[in-house]
Amino acid sequence: MQLSWDEFINVLPAKVRRENSQQQLIEIFNSIDTDGSGSISMDEYFLFALSIAAEQTGAGIEMIFRKYDENGEGSLDAAEFSRAVEDMGFGSIAHELFLEVRRRHSQR
């Protein structure tokens, strides 16, 4: 799943589009598109959402991780991961995202 520039612009709230110049919006898009492919992958968006969550809570990624690691074992099980992903706005794709992250990790 990829998000093109046009799709990105269409999903931005009108307020964000009004308050930023075209150049600023391009810079935001490019900062999320870390591999420079011209589109935003699910992985890139997920990392972007984590960074926004960290900014909003004033906590680092580790603090956010600990919030969802309910049993304190240092890893997130499927249920914990799903709650974290849903809280970041990914909704119903949480379980699929967990399986994809797990699959990619096992390939390393």
Domain ranges in the chain are: 1-41, 59-108
> Which of the four pLDDT bands, split at 50, 70 and 90, describes residue 5?
very high
Residue with tokens 């049993």: 71
Q: How much is the pTM?
A: 0.55
Measure the CA–CA gap between 85 and 49, rounded to whole angstroms.
9
Q: What is the mean pLDDT of the chain?
A: 78
- Mean pLDDT over 1-27 rounds to 88
> What pLDDT score does 11 carry?
82
At the topology level of CATH, where does 1-41 sit? Recoverin; domain 1 (1.10.238)
Measure the CA–CA gap between 9 and 40, rounded to whole angstroms.
12
DSSP letter assigned to residue 100: H
More confident residue, 9 or 87: 9
| pLDDT(23) > 90 | yes
**55-94 pLDDT per residue, tens:** 665 555 666 677 888 888 888 787 787 777 777 666 656 5
